[in-house]
Copies of this chain bind each other. A is one copy, B any other.
């Protein structure tokens, strides 16, 4: 069932415009190619409107933001909104510096996002920017587990309603909600946190899936998150080093089929 969203990516081969950080940008470009789509990396304000206009979706990742690129993010985001393209936000390190937090708040004011993916800490910072996190909310758990799931889910649903975005909180388990539908995804492997870029790559994968599945946004997000986790499971070997794991992770994405994703996805509706 979820494999069809991957098959759409492979058939439509969408173009994904990525404004992303220079740490993991190569892995991001390669994962977009691996899943069957094509990446264009461009972050100069003078050209981002042209570039995003020929693409099918836009990914904004603030991992190594600077003044020049923040201006480009806003411009590209507005144009992508005007064109009806899916726009995905990865608020890397939101909360770690005033600049990151303020940039996230600015982006939330000026751009409408289709999906927002981060860890629980980053998503809590996003929630403050959306006006969601007040009083009790600020105390939402820092980890998703059986005990904390109900409160994190409630928090994420409210943020989804306020932003209109699919909220994707990744961690040991991944929680997704669009305010109406919600699910918990249990794919993945601990080695994914021992390489840089697992999160950034997933966000770019979301860019590809959403571009190719504009009428099934929530299910497409779930499929992308499950594919990334399943690729991590397939990549792991006992005693394997971290860079071999990275190679095998991208290899797994590049050889994944819809059937394999259907067979391996661990998605539980909430």
A positions within 8 Å CB-CB of B:
21-27, 29-30, 33-34, 39-44, 46-47, 50-51, 54, 63-68, 93, 96-100, 194-197, 239-244, 246-255
Chain A interface, >50% SS class: helix
Q: Which residues of B contact A249 (CB under 8 A)?
A: 243
Q: Which residues of B contact A195 (CB under 8 A)?
A: 30, 33
A251: contacting residue among B30, B39, B65, B241, CB under 8 A: B241
Q: Which residues of B contact A243 (CB under 8 A)?
A: 30, 34, 246-251, 254
A42: contacting residue among B97, B194, B250, B254, CB under 8 A: B97
Residue picked from A23, A98, A195, A240, most chain B C-beta under 10 Å: A23
A254: contacting residue among B24, B41, B194, B248, CB under 8 A: B194
Least CB distance from A16 to B in Å reads 12
Q: In the docked arrangement, what's the CA distance between A247 and B196, Å?
A: 14
Q: Which residues of B contact A68 (CB under 8 A)?
A: 66
A194: contacting residue among B24, B34, B51, B65, CB under 8 A: B34
Contact B29 A23 (CB under 8 A): yes
Least CB distance from A58 to B in Å reads 14
Q: With contacts A23-B29, A24-B29 known, what are 4 further pairs, Cβ within 8 A?
A: A21-B41, A26-B26, A29-B196, A44-B67
Q: Which residues of B contact A196 (CB under 8 A)?
A: 26, 29-30, 33, 39
Q: In the docked arrangement, what's the CA distance between A153 and B99, Å?
A: 45
Contact B100 A47 (CB under 8 A): yes
Contact B251 A242 (CB under 8 A): yes
Least CB distance from A91 to B in Å reads 14
Q: Which residues of B contact A40 (CB under 8 A)?
A: 93, 96
Q: Which residues of B contact A34 (CB under 8 A)?
A: 194, 241-243
Contact B44 A99 (CB under 8 A): yes
Contact B24 A26 (CB under 8 A): yes
Contact B66 A44 (CB under 8 A): yes
Contact B51 A67 (CB under 8 A): no
Residue picked from A66, A97, A240, most chain B C-beta under 10 Å: A97
Q: In the docked arrangement, what's the CA distance between A240 and B25, Å?
A: 22
Contact B33 A98 (CB under 8 A): no
With A23-B41, A43-B66 in contact, do A241 and B248 touch (Cβ < 8 Å)? yes
Least CB distance from A230 to B in Å reads 14
With A34-B194, A99-B47 in contact, do A241 and B246 touch (Cβ < 8 Å)? no
